Structure 1
C-alpha cells in the first residue's frame, strides 16, 4: 500500500524525478571533471610548458626520485666504519675542477659527508692549472696530490680502502650520489665497480636521449640581445628558463661536422620543435646527423639537464640498478675497492667509446665486466675533447659554475 500510494503522490513522484536527474547530473559532471583532470595531469607531466600552472608539481614533489636514494630501504645511511673512503680525481683543467671542488668539500667527512680524503692526480703541464691545484691543496687538510700521469689513479689504490674515481671535469653531482653508490657497492660485493648515473655517457647515452629527457635544443646562430638584464646578471644565471626562444631559418638542421657559430654561444629551445633538426633527432632518424659522441649531442644533453635541474625534474633520469650493461660504462664516476683497481685498469685502459674498448667489453667466453650502474644518483661530466671547436664554444661551464656558486659553494666555504 505504501509503495502504491507513493507512486500516485504527485509531490513524491516529482521529488523522485528531480533526485534521478540530480544523480545523473552528478555522474556527468564528475566524469567530465575527472577526464579533464586526467588530461591536465598527462599534459603537465609530458609538456608542462603548455600550461600556466603545472598540476603535477602541485600534486607531487617531482624533486623526489621514484626510487629510494639508497640501494635498500629508506632514510639516512650513515658513513660506514672500518675503512677509508678516498676520492681519486684525475685533474686537467682548473676551470672545471674549481666547480667540482665545491662538491668535493661538501662531501668531506668534516661537512658530514663520506670522503675521508681527496687525492688529485695531475694530468697536465699547464702552469696556471697546477698553481691553482697546489693552492687549494695547501689550504685543505683532506686534499693531497699524487704523482702525475695517466692511469695513476688506478695504480695508487690500496686494497684496504674504498675509492671513488671522480673525473676532474665533473661539474655536478647530487648530494646523495656518493652515499648511494657506496651503499650499492657494499650491498653487491661481487661487483667490481658501481658507477653513478653519469649524464649521456657510455651505456646511458641512448637512455638519456629519450624524448622528454633530451629536449629539442638548437644552437644560437647569432646574438640575441636581452636589454632588460645586465651582463653581470647574465653571466651568473644558470637557469635555462631565462634563455630566449631559438630563432633561425625553417630549413636549419644540425648536420655532421657542424661548427660552433661563435664563442660563448648558447643553445635555445625553438617555439615549434621539429623531429629531425636537433642533434639527437638527426642522429637517430637521419643519415646526415652527427653521431652520439659528437659535441652537439653533448651540448643538447647538458642544456636539457640544466632545464630539468631547474624544474626539479631529475626523476626523468632515474632508474634502480643496471647490472652488467652490454655496452661500456663510464669510468668518470665509480666506486670500487682498492684490490680491484688492477682489474679495472685493464678494463678501462682504452679510451671510452673506442673500438678497442667496445671489443674488450665482452670477453671471448661472452662474459661482461661485473659493473653495475646505480641510476639513483646523478652526476654530470663535461667532456670537451674538441676544445674551442666544440663544447668549449658554449657557455655551459659558466652555467655550471653559477649553479655551484649559488647552491653548493656557499655551504662549504
Structure 2
C-alpha cells in the first residue's frame, strides 16, 4: 500500500507526480512571501529612521507611532516643519499691549524666535505701553534698543487701533507666557484661507469661549494648592534654580475633606499646585464649580491656577493634542482678545467687536457679517485675566513658564 503524506491537511500519494510538483511550488511560494515581507519590513524601518531624523520627508511624523511623541489629530502648519513658508507680498506685524515687565520678559523669547530674521513670520513688533510704572517702561526701552525689529507706539489703548492698511497684524497681549511653535504660522494661514473672516483667534488656554472646553476631564487635571511649605531637595550646582516640570513635584498632602471653595485665599506666597494621590470628584476648583454650589466660577484665580498647572503637565508629557480642534466659526460666546490675527484695513471693525463683547456673531446672521474664527491647532497660554492676577501671583507659575522659555525657547541673542 502506498504511503501517504499529509500535505496542507489532505492525504497525498508519494508516487503522485503532481503532488510532488505542488509541494515544490508551495515551498518556493512560501519563501517568496517571506522574502517580500522582509523587504517591506526593512523598507518601513528604514523609512521610519529617515523620517525621524528628517521630518520634512512627510507631513505626518511616522516615528511618533514608535516613539513617545505627540500625535495631533489636526495638522497644524509650522514654519519649522517646512510645510508652510512665510507668505510674501505683505508685512506681518505683532502688536503687543505692554503691562508687566516680568511677564513680557518671557514673551520676548517667543517674539525673538518668531522674527523673520530667525526664520519666523514677524517683520516687526510694536509695543503699546499700558502702564505708568517707570521701571517697566525703562526695561521696555532697553529691549527695544537691542532689537531693530522692535518699536514702540504712543502710550494708550487708542493707539492700538491706529494701524496701517494692507498689513497683517497679530495682536499678542504682553502677558502671554507660552506660544506653541506653530501658533503664528497657523493663524496666518487660516486667515488667508478664510478671506471673509474678520478675526482669527488662536487656541488660548481656558479663555472666553474655550473656558468650558478646556475644563473637560482629561484636559483639566485635579491639581490642588499645597497648604503648607514642603522642603524641596537641594539642587546641584549645574541645575537651574527654577524648574517647570510637573513630574518633579511631590504629591498633594492635606485633609481628606479639603475642597477649594469660592473666595479661597492663597495659602502662602510662592505656593505650588500638586496632584493628589487619589482624585475626589469635587474637591478641585473646576470640579467644585461644576458639581457644587460653593465652588468658584470659571473666572476665579483658582480655576486659572488649576488650568495652568494642567497645561504644564500636558506640555511635559508632549500631549497638547488634548486641547486641539480644527476651527470654530462664529462661537456663541466671546473670543479671547489676547492672541488674534486681522488685517489693518479691518482694525476699526475689530475694535468695535472687542468693545461690544456681548454682541453675538452667528452663522445665521447676514452674509455681510464678517466671521470670527477660533483656530484650535495652535496653542497659546495667557498668564491671567485681570481679576485673577492677584491670586496667580501668589503661585510659582511665572517662574515655571520662565524656566521653560529659558530652556526651550530663548535664543542666545542677549
Is TM-score (shorter-chain normalized) higher than 0.5?
Answer: yes
> Does the CA contact (< 8 Å) of 2:64 and 2:70 recur in 1?
no
Match of 1:136 in 2: 143
Superposition deviation, residue 233 in structure 1: 4.9
> Does the CA contact (< 8 Å) of 1:235 and 1:398 recur in 2?
no
Match of 2:116 in 1: 109
Superposition deviation, residue 75 in structure 1: 5.2
Which structure: larger Rg?
2
> Does the CA contact (< 8 Å) of 1:151 and 1:345 recur in 2?
no
Match of 1:81 in 2: 88
How far apart in 2 are the matches of 1:362 and 1:2?
88
Shift in alpha-carbon separation, 1:299–1:234, aligned structure 2, 3 A: farther
Give ranges in structure 1 of 5+ residues lacking alignment: 7-11, 13-55, 351-356
Q: Secondary structure at the match of 2:349?
A: helix
Q: Deviations over 1:120-159 (max 9, x none)?
A: 0000000110000000001110000001112422x22121
Superposition deviation, residue 76 in structure 1: 1.6
Aligned residue runs from structure 1 range 329-348, under 5 A? 329-348=335-354
- Normalised by the size of structure 1, how large is the TM-score? 0.80
- The yes-or-no answer on 1:281 pairing with 2:287 is yes
How far apart in 1 are the matches of 2:263 and 2:344?
41
> Does the CA contact (< 8 Å) of 1:384 and 1:390 recur in 2?
no
> Does the CA contact (< 8 Å) of 2:304 and 2:388 recur in 1?
no
Match of 2:379 in 1: 378
- Normalised by the size of structure 2, how large is the TM-score? 0.80
Match of 1:267 in 2: 273
Superposition deviation, residue 331 in structure 1: 1.0
Shift in alpha-carbon separation, 1:185–1:228, aligned structure 2, 3 A: same
Aligned residue runs from structure 1 range 3-402, under 5 A? 59=66, 61-70=68-77, 76-153=83-160, 155-229=161-235, 233=239, 235-349=241-355, 357-358=357-358, 360-362=359-361, 370-383=371-384, 385-386=386-387, 389-402=390-403
How far apart in 1 are the matches of 2:94 and 2:137?
19
Q: Deviations over 1:59-94 (max 9, x none)?
A: 4654242211139xx952111111100000000101
Give ranges in structure 2 of 5+ residues lacking alignment: 7-11, 13-62
Q: How many residues align?
A: 355
Q: Secondary structure at the match of 1:275?
A: coil
Shift in alpha-carbon separation, 1:161–1:406, aligned structure 2, 3 A: same
Larger relative helix fraction: 1
> Does the CA contact (< 8 Å) of 1:62 and 1:315 recur in 2?
no
How far apart in 2 are the matches of 1:387 and 1:212?
23
How far apart in 2 are the matches of 1:70 and 1:149?
34
What do you get for the CA RMSD once the two structures are aligned? 2.6
